[in-house]
């Protein structure tokens, strides 16, 4: 499972490299359409591998994780909409960014009954 998580991370890094080349109109010797397909496929593979390999610990807050993953999905979908020139792409990206921002303020660690004061620090 750990190898799949590493592969998913590499897919994300490569995907966002190609996304940057698309947004900044940098010519890397590949056609625009080919770079777009690489971005879409690697981004989707990275997203799915990270969802599959997500390890739920006993202290995690499922609401925080759900909101974070929904925000990530909306940002990715908004970027795809922007590259394919579909309408409402900026609105979708903003919805995802707001969800990601909200997920930062939800407590990630649920309070346990057997926690001491020092364990909460």
Same structural domain, 98 and 61: yes
Per-residue pLDDT band for 91 (boundaries 50, 70, 90) equals very high
Short-list 80, 69, 79, 78, CA closest to 47: 69
d(CA 59, CA 120): 12
Same structural domain, 69 and 104: yes
- Domain contains 119: no
The stretch 86-104 carries a mean pLDDT of: 89
Same structural domain, 44 and 73: no
- Domain contains 27: yes
- To the nearest 10 degrees (0 to 180), the angle between helices 62-83 and 2-23 is 40
Kindly tell me if the per-residue pLDDT of 76 is higher than 90. Answer: no
Domain count across the chain? 2
d(CA 109, CA 2): 22
d(CA 110, CA 22): 41
Same structural domain, 28 and 64: no
Same structural domain, 42 and 64: no
Q: Domain containing 66: what range?
A: 57-110
pLDDT digit string, tens, across residues 6-59: 888 888 888 888 888 887 888 888 888 888 888 888 888 888 887 777 766 555
Same structural domain, 67 and 19: no
pLDDT of 27 reads: 87
Per-residue pLDDT band for 95 (boundaries 50, 70, 90) equals very high
Q: What are phi and psi of 48, to 5 degrees?
A: -65, -40
Per-residue pLDDT band for 67 (boundaries 50, 70, 90) equals confident
Same structural domain, 99 and 62: yes
């Amino acid at each position: 499972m750990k190898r799949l998580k590493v592969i998913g991370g590499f897919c994300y890094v490569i995907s966002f490299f190609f996304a940057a080349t698309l947004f900044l109109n940098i010519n890397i010797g590949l056609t625009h359409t080919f770079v777009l397909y690489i971005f879409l496929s690697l981004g989707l593979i990275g997203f799915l591998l990270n969802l599959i390999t997500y390890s739920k610990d006993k202290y995690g807050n499922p609401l925080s994780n759900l909101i974070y993953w929904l925000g990530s999905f909306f940002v990715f979908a908004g970027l795809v909409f922007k590259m394919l020139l579909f309408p409402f792409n900026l609105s979708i990206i903003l919805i995802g960014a707001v969800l990601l921002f909200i997920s930062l303020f939800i407590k990630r660690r649920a309070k346990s009954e057997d926690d001491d004061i020092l364990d909460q620090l």
